[in-house]
Structure 1
Amino acid sequence: MIPVTQHHFRPGDPLFTQRTPRVVSAVKLHRRRDRDKAGRFLAEGPQAVREALAAGAVRELFVTESGRTRHRELLHGEPFSVVTDDAMDALADTVVPQGVVAVCDLLDIPLDAALAKRPRLVAVAVEIRDPGNAGTVLRTADAAGADAVVFAGDAVDPYNPKCVRSSAGSLFHLDVVRAPDAAATLAALRGAGLRTLATSGYGAADLDDLIDDGSLAAPTAWLFGSEAHGLPDELRDAADTAVRVPIHGRAESLNLAAAAAVCLYASARAHRR
């Protein structure tokens, strides 16, 4: 909910600049420590802002004069502050900003709260460091109908501006969990009745075989490791099954985002049959 201290902009009102205190405070949210301290993050661009508004997560809305015209439907009925182009450059993370940025409440919930909802499909990003990959996993999980995405271990912050942008609004559609202890996360997932499947190029089980034998119809948590190092050995070994995605052509492997899409959609199909 946007605070009542924010007003509806009227012609003639002064524009906010880079030095306006509310802009200064928002710009600090580019840093993870300031996001965690404030409990807020930035969502940039019309798609992310639209989904943030629909989720009721927006606390403050900034728009340029040109953006106010381009995004008229998005802003209809919403209080907002008009900022200078220089201020928008400071607020935005992109080289060519789209003219609208929202300050949003952090969305993550505790792991036990997410598991209490009895999810059937969970994506677990273990020590993924690249924010673009993390955002793509969020978007893919949302598209496949997953209930939650868990960022386990020393993983990238899902509220990193590039991650938020790469998720294309999906960050606002499912449960987001930050769980620094990956081993405890795995134990909790298994304790909640989820079958834990660890992706590995050397996994003993072939994804095609799991599709054929119907075992993917069970509630499942897929574990995906970083693109550079994969899953830690101890976590892969502790999962119920290590699964490899078959390579039928001559490619050496799939990248993280592609492997996540293949695995999550295989489970999604099994759940809907």
Structure 2
Amino acid sequence: MIDNPRSPRVRSVAKLAKRQARAETGLFLVEGPQAVAEALAYRADLIVDVYITPKARDRYAELVQTATGLGLDVETVSEAVLETMADTVTPQGVLATSRQFTISLADLLSSKPHLVAILEEVRDPGNAGTIIRAADAAGADGVIFTGNSVDAYNPKVVRSTTGSIFHVPVAQNGTLDEALAAVRAAGLQVLAADVKGADLPRVRDLLAAPTAWVFGNEAHGLPDEHLRLADRVVKVPIYGNAESLNLATAASVCLYESAFAQRS
């Protein structure tokens, strides 16, 4: 059992909470039994190591059996070690390290997608992860991070996807102009989500077409020069007294409206 929180191996795992360490190693953290189980089910080839506390080993015996059946070593670690490794304040006793698997924009679009989400300057990791999860649930074909958006492998992004990051292709590190040119070349229309746009119910006749939704920064939205690049600007109307919608909530509505239209 690994029980020294200061050991080089433990410290190297803990460093993956930092973007620089992730960039240098090509690895990222997968925290919690649900996310680790999804990784094992969908991309076990990417998993490098699995760590688990004695209590969690008993509680998640099926997960341990799955991992060992795939030929992975499951290291037992002390509670103190897992707390050092994990990014969360109260980890759930299971953690894995995985290789990153971001794909290129060209590869993402080569499968002739019908629905993608573009995140432009989205900085909040919880929002980014929730949008990946919503895109997965809505059957979207991919998520594209542009500009200075948060790293898709930030631990909070990964946690917020609850495993969906292993289901949905993700491309990152490009400009919005490049992404829009590419999605248009792939036959998708571009809809920008912004409070300056038309109410979403009024443009439902457009939503059956292959679509790339663009979602902007939480605080500032999309600047006018980016809105002008869209085919249409659309907003989710507010019928009650709420001041606004959280970005991830609005994105979920937009993605599902497209999913409904494309499957009707």
Q: TM-score range by the shorter chain?
A: over 0.9
Match of 1:67 among 42, 53, 56: 56
3-state SS of 2:195 partner = coil
3-state SS of 1:266 partner = helix
Tell me how far apart the structure 1 counterparts of residues 188 and 247 of structure 2 sit (CA, whole Å): 22
Aligned counterpart, 1:184: 178
3-state SS of 1:150 partner = strand
Q: Deviations over 1:208-260 (max 9, x none)?
A: 1111xx22111100001111010122111111111122222233322201111
Asked if 1:95 corresponds to 2:95, the answer is: no
3-state SS of 2:2 partner = coil
Match of 1:33 among 20, 26, 32: 20
Tell me how far apart the structure 2 counterparts of residues 190 and 206 of structure 1 sit (CA, whole Å): 23
Asked if 1:254 corresponds to 2:245, the answer is: yes
Asked if 1:42 corresponds to 2:29, the answer is: yes
Aligned counterpart, 1:153: 147
Identity within the alignment, %: 51
2:2/2:81 contact within 8 Å kept: no
Structure 2 spans left out of the alignment, 5+ residues: none
Asked if 1:218 corresponds to 2:209, the answer is: yes
State the 1:16 CA deviation: 4.5
Tell me how far apart the structure 1 counterparts of residues 176 and 21 of structure 2 sit (CA, whole Å): 24
Aligned counterpart, 2:78: 84
Structure 1 spans left out of the alignment, 5+ residues: 1-13
3-state SS of 1:227 partner = coil
Give the aligned CA root-mean-square deviation in angstroms.
1.3
Aligned counterpart, 1:193: 187
Asked if 1:231 corresponds to 2:222, the answer is: yes
Aligned counterpart, 1:113: 107
3-state SS of 1:123 partner = strand
Structure-2-length-normalised TM-score: 0.94
1:98 aligned partner, one-letter code: Q
2:3/2:80 contact within 8 Å kept: no
3-state SS of 2:196 partner = coil
Structure-1-length-normalised TM-score: 0.91
3-state SS of 1:201 partner = strand
Tell me how far apart the structure 1 counterparts of residues 114 and 173 of structure 2 sit (CA, whole Å): 19
Match of 1:137 among 113, 120, 131: 131
